[in-house]
Amino acid sequence: MKRFLKDVDRDARISRLRETPSSIAVVVPCFGHAAFLPAMFDSITAQTRTPDEVILVDDHSPDATREIVRQLVATNWQVADGRVLLLANDRNTGQAASLNRGISTASSELIMILNDDDYLMHDAVESMLTLFGRYRELALIGAGSVHFAGSEELAAAPKLVTDYGATEPPLHFHRPTDILGYRDYNDLNMTHSGSCFLKAAWEVVGGYQVDKKRRIVPFSDRDFQLRVAAIWPVAVADRTPFSFWRTDSSVDNRRNS
């Protein structure tokens, strides 16, 4: 962490947004989860506030991912006013690199992550925009998730953030002075799907770290979150789920990180 803080451009740090973020992109890294893609995409089309962009990145998946995503995009062209984009890697580059490619393509101020085997609460986008509007000093907001396995379990579960708590969920704040004292990577704990951050913060910290040897922790998502949290305040709605996390599948389980 100290090496990262030494190398980062301190003059580029963002202390506070002058204006409330008003645009949000959902970025989906895709690899090896063709069977789960329709359900994942349904959670985007069901949003109470449509995202401004949807960017899916096929990381040269060995299954039918590319064909399925192309069909989903073609039949849901009206989502995000038509700003639904499929990026196809010509070789497998890993989840971190795929995320960086998708995020760099986005023009929105906020980036929400959705793994291709997970599912967003239907008001996740609207809830995040509300939270970033109120807490303008935050660079990243994460949340918990409901664990599930199988389509029947998912179908039966309530699908609004507000079904699981207050209209505005309580946040657990983490400040840069806290991060330096953390000893376990889960001292900052959030589900990757549903996490949301300023694109400007992603730019300053250098994005997701592709080189595993340079990560603070082995997992690309938590490594990124910790680097952001070492510079700006972040918060976690740790008692309120913003997504559903599939327990019998993981895109970043030492296969495609």
pLDDT in tens, 220-240: 999 999 999 999 999 999 999
Give pLDDT, residue 172. 96
Give pLDDT, residue 7. 63
Which residues of the chain are under the pLDDT cut of 50?
Answer: 252
The secondary element (H helix, E strand) that includes residue 79 is: none
The strand pairing partners of 237, in sequence order, are 143
Give pLDDT, residue 181. 84
How far is residue 188 from each of residues 41, 48, 248, 252, measured CA to CA in Å?
28, 28, 23, 18
Q: Are 35 and 122 in contact (CB under 8 A)?
A: no
Domains, the chain, in order of start with CATH, read: 2-246 (3.90.550.10)
The encoded tokens of residue 196 equal: 């949301």
pLDDT in tens, 88-115: 999 999 999 999 999 999 999 999 999 9
Give pLDDT, residue 78. 81
Give pLDDT, residue 112. 98
Q: What is the pTM of this model?
A: 0.93
Q: Are 124 and 194 in contact (CB under 8 A)?
A: yes
**Contacts with 82 (C-beta within 8 Å, 6 or more apart), sequence order:** none
Longest dimension (CA), the chain: 50
**Contacts with 235 (C-beta within 8 Å, 6 or more apart), sequence order:** 131, 135, 138, 140, 141, 142, 171, 172, 173, 174
pLDDT in tens, 40-54: 999 999 999 999 999
Q: Which residues of 48-69 are buried (b: 16+ CB within 10 A; e: fewer)?
A: eebbbbbbbbbbbbeeebbebb
Q: Are 116 and 42 in contact (CB under 8 A)?
A: no
CA 13 to chain centre: 21
**Contacts with 174 (C-beta within 8 Å, 6 or more apart), sequence order:** 188, 229, 233, 234, 235, 236
Give pLDDT, residue 241. 96
